[in-house]
Amino acid sequence: MKKTYRYSLVAGAAMLTMTFAGSALAFHGGGVADCNGCHTMHNSPDNPVHEGSIENTKLLKASDPSSTCLNCHDGNGSYHVRSDDGSNINQGGDFYWVSNPYTVVVRGSTNTYGGDNAGHNIVAYDYGMAADANPSNAQAPGGTFPAAELSCTSCHSAHGKVLGGTAGGQLPVSVSGSYGGVPAAGTIAGNYRILNDSWYPGFTYNAPIARANGSNGNTTRYANGMSEWCANCHTQYLASATKHPVSQPLNGQGANYNQYIATGNFTGSQATSWDPLVPFEDLTAATGADLNLASTAGPATGAAAQVMCLTCHRAHASAHNNAGRWDFETEYLAESHALVSPDVPASAVPYYGDGAAIDVHAKYGEYQRSLCNKCHVQD
């Protein structure tokens, strides 16, 4: 089902490789992008609506919104979010795993991992991506958003709308909100990763504050608001006595984080304890510009840092069930299902952080247990 050709927006997307704070060359610069990159104005012979469309009232250059996004963002490396071999290492994750389940023999039984369980099941007809087939996930877990309507634009605003973005009701966007840029006087920054906020139907919370290294998103640091933003769809997970707390100060767990290096190794220090597989929100940063992408520091003492949804999960998908940053369903990380399955390509990267693949055996040791211990230190 995957398309073998691209439209003129490929040229626009290619400019994403030059995306830096304040760059005027980025296809998505924090505000509305090139209209002709995603739409055909008149469905003309030289600029047609995608021929596979059954109904396309928005004159998209694909069958649906997600397919339109994947016209540019399907591929390996750089600004792509869906590789053909599980090799992408952007912090959001790789939709490859949603489309490619794999099997592992566990205690004599063949079990399937990944697939629908790997992350967000966006609907992209042209790329063979469909809603989660599990009836219990007909709505977002912990919320009411219908799975059959989940698309890239359920989370991201293709038009770059920001809070107060009604017609004539906002200042112009002069800089992306993703890379720590400071807007010029009389202008505003776009939302981080052009995420929808409280103007979007059904949303209560605004986009979070975070900072990425560039369009590839291989390195990201977080300030605040991520869990609240996730709660726009996963409402019950924000504040519940029966679910893991989020948007809560690390406090004593922060000290644990700083000391914990690996199973049996508690010699870490705050200055160098950052682990990209277990990120946290730095509440001392008021804006994206305050976040230091090169920092290796762990959480400051007291209530200056907090746990968030993305401490344990990736936003798009991962090699592990429930979009986990690590495999929640195995005793030792070195035995993670994606690392031992014969179905996973050799080029796939199940573990990575800050732009590099992570060999969990070399980094943590053969007997490293769940990275929940980075905060809870039970081993």
pLDDT tens digits along 177-209 = 999 999 999 888 999 999 999 889 999 999 999
For residue 258, what pLDDT band results from cuts at 50, 70 and 90? very high
- Could you read off the pLDDT of 335-376 as tens digits, one per residue? 999 999 999 999 999 999 999 999 999 999 999 999 999 999
Would you give the end-to-end CA distance of the chain in angstroms? 47
Tell whether the torsion through CA atoms of 114, 115, 117 and 122 is positive or negative: positive
Which is higher by pLDDT, 7 or 356? Answer: 356
As a whole number of angstroms, the distance between CA 94 and CA 80 comes to 8
Determine the pLDDT at residue 48.
64
Residue 138 · residue 116 · CB < 8 Å: no
Which residue, among 70, 93, 88, 97, has the nearest Cα to 151 in the 3D structure?
A: 70
pLDDT of 4 reads 40
Average pLDDT over residues 244-262: 94
pLDDT at 24 over 50: no
Predicted confidence (pLDDT) at residue 2 exceeds the cutoff of 50: no
Supply φ then ψ for residue 282, to 5 degrees. Answer: -95, 105
- Residue written as token pair 């963002």: 73
Amino acid at 122: I
Whether 147 shows a pLDDT value over 50: the answer reads yes
Confidence grade of residue 13 (pLDDT, cut at 50, 70, 90): very low
SS3 breakdown of the chain: % helix, strand, coil, rounded to 5? 25, 15, 60
Average pLDDT over residues 129-141: 94
Give yes or no for residue 299 having a pLDDT over 70: yes
Check residue 113 and give its pLDDT: 96
**pLDDT score, position 266:** 96
Amino acid at 58: K
333: left (phi over 0), alpha (psi -120 to 50) or beta: alpha
Q: Over 90: is that where the pLDDT of 19 sits?
A: no
Q: How many CB atoms lie within 10 A of CB 75?
A: 17
Structure confidence at residue 151 (pLDDT): 97
Least confident segment among 16-30, 92-106, 145-159, 255-269: 16-30
Q: How are beta strands 209-212 and 220-224 bridged, if at all?
A: antiparallel
Helix (H) or strand (E) holding 256: helix 252-259
Amino acid identity of 357? A
- pLDDT score recorded for residue 54: 52
The pLDDT score that the predictor gives to residue 154 is 97
Would the pLDDT of 88 be above 80? yes
**Cβ-Cβ contacts under 8 Å for 135 (sequence gap 6 or more):** none
* Whole-structure pTM value: 0.90
Matching residue, tokens 């980075």 = 374
Q: Quick one: average pLDDT of 157-161?
A: 87
Highest mean pLDDT out of 47-51, 113-117, 166-170: 113-117
Average pLDDT rounded to a whole number, residues 316-338: 97
In the three-class reduction of DSSP (H, G, I as helix; E, B as strand; rest coil), residue 333 is classed as: helix
Q: Is 125 in contact with 63 (CB distance < 8 Å)? A: yes
Report pLDDT for 342. 96
Q: How far apart are CA 165 and CA 105, in angstroms?
A: 52
